[in-house]
Amino acid sequence: MWISPGGGGPVQSTTSDLTAHISYGPRQRGSIQAPNTLRANEWFHIAFITGSGGMKLFVNGLLAGTNAYTGSFASLTNSSQNWVGRDSNPSPGLPTLSGQIDEFRVWKTQRTPEQIRETMLNKLTGSEPDLVGLWNFDDPAQPGRDASPGAHHGKFVGQAAVTNAALPVIVFGKIDDASGNPLAKASVEIHQPGQPDRRINANDAGEYAITLASAGRCDLFVTTGKLSAYRLGFQSNREAQQRLDWTLAETQGAAGARAVPARSTADGKTTPEKLNGSTPSGAAATGDRSRSLATKRVLQLDGTNSFVELPSNLLDGAIEVTFEAWLKWEKFGELSRIFDFGELSDSLLVSSGYLNNDLYFVFVNQGQTTRDTVLRAPALLALHQWCHVAAVASTNGMRLYLDGRLVGTNAYTKRFYTNGPVRQAFLGHPFFAQHRNFHGDMGEVRLWKTARTQEQVRENIGQSLSGNEPDLIGLWNFDDTNNPGRDVSLAARHGKLVGQATVTNAVLPVVLYGKIIDASGKTLAGASIEVRQSGSDVRRLTADESGEYGLAISPAERCDLFVTT
């Protein structure tokens, strides 16, 4: 049968496991569980086989599980109670099916995998040998009609109804390495416009099967973490089933990250594409900075009344200022503050957005903010991921950098702190009571009395400073166990940890940056960069108008980088 959990509506189940179960006595039972198999509002073909050969469960034509138990439908005695969409012995805590079903078939034989695959997308007539039940819901006058000769017609109960739907096509195949060895558990990712991203794993034989809407294009990414290949803009040939095999190749060379495109041969084999005997390179990471995996001491704030109080004379004599820090959010509060310098009426602050992942750099002037005093970089932050933020206030305006990439500018140049001493300064705490404290981790907080250039920001992102650097007027690296708020710079403006503020260990990421161009050297503004790293969600960012990008990645794991326009 074909089944779509949810079927466009709400999903009642809290698990994605698929279970096949047969029982006809207290100790006469068998079951198969295929964990993390189902996804809401997606069609699946399911086949369940019982009998002398044991139990077998197939999903989209591939074996998903077995059980040696030989019980079968013939052993069941409650033939008067046969249901589709509910349990034969329902309990209050067991919901009925919420979703859609089509082409529900019952056979009196144990179908082979080849037979299942051959007919799962074929429309049956009802007269096929060994077919004893076919409910296709095509008869508007009798939607529960059994189209097989057995004529075991069903009855719709409650709100059961018939609607129209387009069944998908199935793309299947095998994933091997360059030596022809199957790659068990290789990950297959599907990105299709208008659909949630999907990810499945190949079975132990390296086989996979996915369903796709027949009309749309999609991007396919296959990886083991070390070997990868991809197809961009893939479109099925509109046949009910299409074979697409993959051969994965090493995607990381000494020269940097290399994107390996893939192509299909006449027999459906997908291999890394070769031009003149060599693998073409994609976006090479020529500007990346790396450092050791040594753990660092970082500030940890719980989002309540926990923060660091800094001295009031922080910006004495400064005309231009650059603030830098490594940051990792656990929660986005309302304008949750990274730092706040000044007082309620006049202040300089950096924060996240209004309960969202925007990034703000703001001057408050006489208790007011205007479009001229606010720099906003929308939807750039991510929870539970380290990023590097640099905010620059210069005589030419304001600049905001994320992971070394310029994400916003304006021309505002008025400076309240040149007229007198800064009254208060906080890390992780706002002056405004309605705003929220920072909830997350901070590392290597720096303050400069100059407007740092983009090159200077990038040059020092991955380096630990000594505190003696020219123009450095504050360095809080939380390394001193006896005085974690110690300012390591020559200014010695030591901070005080307040509330539940504490220090912990962390491995900070490295920043990868560069420029994306086409083969003729033309800048590719707006190119999309996708990052896939084991244990992390897929991340996407867009190159700026000059084709430049910057991203922070964990140095401990390999990752796959995909760049496309």
pLDDT in tens, 298-356: 999 999 989 999 998 888 878 999 999 999 999 999 999 999 998 888 889 999 999 99
* 473 C-beta neighbours (distance < 10 Å), count: 21
- Place 212 in a pLDDT band, splitting at 50, 70 and 90: confident
* Encoded tokens for 380: 């750039």
Check residues 25 and 59 and name the one with the higher pLDDT: 59
Report the b/e string of 425-448 with b at 16+ CB within 10 A. bbbbbbbeeebbbbbbbbbbbbbb
Whether residue 268 is predicted with pLDDT greater than 50 in this model: the reply is no
Asked whether the beta carbons of 471 and 446 are under 8 A apart, the reply is: no
DSSP state of 523: B
pLDDT on residue 259: 33
Q: Could you check whether 2-135 and 169-272 share the same CATH topology? A: no
| Distance from the first to the final alpha carbon of the chain | 39
* Cα–Cα dist 364/341, whole Å: 10
* Cα–Cα dist 49/96, whole Å: 23
pLDDT on residue 418: 67
Whether residue 272 is predicted with pLDDT greater than 50 in this model: the reply is no
SS3 per residue for 378-418: CCCCCECCCEEEEEEEECCEEEEEECCEEEEEECCCCCHHH
Whether residue 18 is predicted with pLDDT greater than 80 in this model: the reply is yes
**What's the whole-number average pLDDT of the chain?**
85
DSSP state of 150: T
Count of helix runs (H) and strand runs (E) in the chain: 2, 41
Whether residue 92 is predicted with pLDDT greater than 90 in this model: the reply is no
Q: Kindly report, residue by residue over 274-300, the tens digit of the pLDDT.
A: 322 223 333 333 344 334 346 899 999
For CA atoms 533, 534, 536, 537, give the dihedral sign: positive
Tell me, rounded to whole angstroms, the distance of Cα 175 from its chain centroid.
23
pLDDT on residue 263: 38
Asked whether the beta carbons of 527 and 563 are under 8 A apart, the reply is: yes
Compute the average pLDDT of residues 366-375: 88
Compute the average pLDDT of residues 416-442: 87
pLDDT on residue 334: 92
Q: pTM, whole model, 2 decimals?
A: 0.60
Q: Kindly report, residue by residue over 113-147, the tens digit of the pLDDT.
A: 999 999 998 999 999 999 999 999 999 999 999 99
Whether residue 67 is predicted with pLDDT greater than 70 in this model: the reply is yes
Q: Which fold has domain 296-506?
A: Jelly Rolls (2.60.120)
Q: Kindly report, residue by residue over 464-514, the tens digit of the pLDDT.
A: 899 999 999 999 999 999 999 999 999 999 999 999 999 999 988 888 889
CATH architecture designation of domain 2-135: Sandwich (2.60)
Report the b/e string of 235-249 with b at 16+ CB within 10 A. ebeeeebbebbbbbb
Write the CATH number of the domain with boundaries 169-272.
2.60.40.1120
| Domain extents in the chain | 2-135, 169-272, 296-506, 510-564
DSSP state of 95: P
pLDDT on residue 23: 76
- Place 266 in a pLDDT band, splitting at 50, 70 and 90: very low
pLDDT on residue 498: 97
Most confident region among 226-235, 292-301, 373-382 by mean pLDDT: 373-382
